[in-house]
Structure 1
Amino acid sequence: MIQDPPSPDTDLGALRPQALLLTFFGGYILGRRVHVATASVLDVLGRVGVSEDATRSTLSRMARGGLLHRVRRGRSVYLGLTARSREVLHDGEFRVWRMGAVNTHWDGTWTLLGFSLPDSWQRQRHVLRSRLLWAGFGALQGGLWIAPSPVEVEPLLDGLEAAAHVKVFQARALPPTDVDELVRDAWHLEAVAARYERFLDRWDGSAPPDGPADSLARQLLLQAEWLQVVRRDPRLPREHLPADWPAERAQRVFRSVYAELDPAARAITAELLDTIPDEESEPVV
């Protein structure tokens, strides 16, 4: 089941505790088949400036939402991933490490999605639009949305009554369609570019001036901020983007700074994290 996208943060550097927690679990727990002590997680988030109360509250909410599995050993509680959180984290991993910031292999195919919902279905309409934006669609006109390249639409409609009112096609633009104009109409390019520019302002050449000195904390902030940027980028075809598009430069900066911080960050976690194998404890009830 698709996770409904959260409301986006208004700016970089204002990351919510859940975004930082997911970044931590994705970087240091995903694929290891372990649970990590709550105390270790509190320590990690404290290094990024998140209070213990805020972290505990977010962890409880994530557990109730099926994103974390809690087990107990003695007086300590350990946290592990669920099938749902693994799906979310694998998606983030794919976007960060395997999917380039710019679509350089576009074959000219567009996914077209149209819908018409009753006026009373305001919540359904809101959820559907949020999921489409999250998946890289842009609103072209009326109830017609488009996305570059093929998109697996069924997960976007999971659990929505609106699914019965949706029609999906794949197509290619034909003359006299001006694809550059189509892209400008469907997406707010200036807003997407501005997020990359803000990322570059914070990370190009040094850590954020208001950020922590700790390498682990800086790496978590870096990756969480980068994921926030790329998840709000529809990855439009390079040939239809402005010549000075900042995405690829920002991607180079992200990967360079991440690699610079990684040895020290992993040394910190090797000493800091208290983990147990998945199967060694009883669930918390």
Structure 2
Amino acid sequence: MTGQEKGPAASARPQTLMLAFLGLHVLEHGSAVYSGSAIEVFARVGVSEDAVRSTLTRMVKRDLLARHRRGRKMYFGLTARSIDVLRDGHDRIWGAGAVNHDWDGTWTLVGFSLPEAWRSQRHDLRSRLMWAGFGPLQNGLWIAPGHPDVPAVVAGLGLEDHLNVLRGQAAEPTEASQLLHRAFDTGAIAERYRAFLGQWDRPNPLPSAPDDLARQLLLHTDWLQVVRSDPRLPAEHLPADWPAIRAERVFRTLSAQYDAPAKQLADAVLDTIPAEPASGQG
């Protein structure tokens, strides 16, 4: 890739790229992938063999992948946890959409107070809330537009007794637009979409990429990194030229363009075996 091609995926961690790859070429196939063929795919986007192997090992330790040995070859398949993660990412990309056009004026509020020593729990809770579309309104109080499923968001953290969850609407003298701009950095959100457009909204994006399999992987990695930090703010409180609208159109157009050739290349490159998929929860 050239020095001009510096989209979000150019600096993405190998695990982020790996999750995009698994979502595209493993999730719906019930298969496990030979490490050597994964290395071949990731070489297309400049990820070294050592980085791929260490990423696979870390993901096994985190219960995101399971090993399947066949003779001298090691294959990697999904776990229940990774299936949940990948399905959630799929829903964020293809289900919800990048802009909220049907907000009913309701905010969900999550208040929490955790012991000072619980730094890890606090980090995990904040990460979950951010992924679910919440923003920090003030110390210990996060808000999100609409009706996110808070019990599902915090499931497994063991923090239910430390949370206060409420739903309501803004009341005078506070306006909804004020809450939005206090809790969310709309300028930073818009800039991430503009960076995506700068990378992909042009003739022949990533001309130095070797093929459409590489472009597909980088496109989906870029897009997921953008939408995972976007709380889907109400369209009525955003500028008419909000860049997420055009960015989503560009993503969907390119994704459709790359899909068939990328699948053909993946079928030729990937060495897979059937692997009984673990059942995702929910």
Q: What TM-score do the two structures reach when normalised by structure 2?
A: 0.90
Question: Is 2:197 aligned against 1:200?
Answer: yes
Q: Which runs of 5+ in 1 are unaligned?
A: 1-9, 280-285
Between Structure 1 and Structure 2, how many residues are aligned? 270
Question: Is 2:146 aligned against 1:149?
Answer: yes
> Residue 168 of structure 1 aligns to a residue in which SS?
strand
Per the alignment, residue 276 of structure 1 pairs with 273
Per the alignment, residue 37 of structure 2 pairs with 40
CA contact (8 A) 2:111 2:140 kept: yes
Amino acid corresponding to residue 77 of structure 1 in structure 2:
M
Question: Is 2:132 aligned against 1:135?
Answer: yes
Which is worse superposed, 74-83 or 10-19?
10-19
Which is worse superposed, 190-199 or 20-29?
20-29
Residue of 24, 29, 35 corresponding to 1:27: 24
Per the alignment, residue 54 of structure 1 pairs with 51
CA contact (8 A) 2:107 2:144 kept: yes
Question: Is 2:4 aligned against 1:13?
Answer: no
Which is worse superposed, 131-140 or 119-128?
119-128
Amino acid corresponding to residue 152 of structure 1 in structure 2:
D
Per the alignment, residue 258 of structure 2 pairs with 261
What percent of counterpart residues are identical?
54
> Residue 13 of structure 1 aligns to a residue in which SS?
helix
> Residue 250 of structure 1 aligns to a residue in which SS?
helix
Per the alignment, residue 79 of structure 1 pairs with 76
Per the alignment, residue 110 of structure 1 pairs with 107
Which is worse superposed, 160-169 or 67-76?
160-169
Q: CA deviation at 1:12?
A: 4.6
Question: Is 2:91 aligned against 1:94?
Answer: yes
**RMSD of aligned Cα (Å):** 1.7
Which is worse superposed, 160-169 or 204-213?
204-213
Per the alignment, residue 161 of structure 2 pairs with 164
Q: Deviations over 1:186-235 (max 9, x none)?
A: 10000000000000000002354575131100100000100000000000
CA contact (8 A) 2:109 2:167 kept: yes
Q: CA deviation at 1:86?
A: 0.4
Question: Is 2:152 aligned against 1:121?
Answer: no
Q: CA deviation at 1:181?
A: 1.5
> Residue 10 of structure 2 aligns to a residue in which SS?
coil
Q: What TM-score do the two structures reach when normalised by structure 1?
A: 0.89
CA contact (8 A) 1:124 1:161 kept: no
CA contact (8 A) 1:12 1:198 kept: no
Residue of 42, 47, 63 corresponding to 2:60: 63
Per the alignment, residue 3 of structure 2 pairs with none
Q: Which runs of 5+ in 2 are unaligned?
A: 1-6, 277-282
Per the alignment, residue 241 of structure 1 pairs with 238
